[in-house]
Amino acid sequence: MNGQPSFEHWRHAQELRETWQGRLMRAVPFDVQFGHVKPGNKMAAVVLSVLAQSYEAGMWPLMVVTFEQFTSILPPFFTTCGKISLKGKIYADMTTKSIDAVERVIVFHSEKDMQTEFRKLADKLKLNDDDRRELFGAVKRWIVCDYRIDPNTGEKEKVA
């Protein structure tokens, strides 16, 4: 072999692009310039973070097959997973303009808002039941803390 990817390599790349994860990455806006990928809006940044949380080992190959000549991700992107505040808002820390600039961002105003946005994406992609379960499982794993849950009882506290 002369260092060139084989046909088998390209077949696997195409298969990876056609997974629900690859289709999801292409369904949200990203700006790509000279191999540098930048989320085009907050939802694209959330999708990137959700997939990175659940599929860390597969992210580099996914990025390479999704974005031609991929080299890096540019801000804005999330540097933490989602957390739910006492008032039910979902927030995460986002690197904004430079690697040193991190700010806490409200990502969704409620769990229902988050479910609605991901349901719209799943409908747009016409995901089958198994792929929907995987997607919503990844979204669920992205929420790493719910401050409404009482650590002693495990029940959600009623917040007025």
Q: How far apart are CA 138 and CA 151, in angstroms?
A: 23
Q: Which residues pair with 30 in a beta bridge?
A: 39
pTM over 0.75? The answer is: yes
Give the largest Cα separation in the chain, rounded: 67
* Encoded amino acid at 59, one letter: M
The pLDDT assigned to 9 comes to 54
- State residue 3's pLDDT score: 55
**Residue ranges, the chain, pLDDT below 70:** 1-11, 158-160
pLDDT, tens digit (0-9, with 9 covering 90-100), for 28-53: 999 999 989 999 999 999 999 999 99
Residue ranges per domain, the chain?
A: 7-146
Could you tell me how many residues make up the chain? 160
How high is the pLDDT of residue 1? 45
Per-residue tokens: 60: 């580099």
Provide the token pair at 127.
Answer: 């995901």
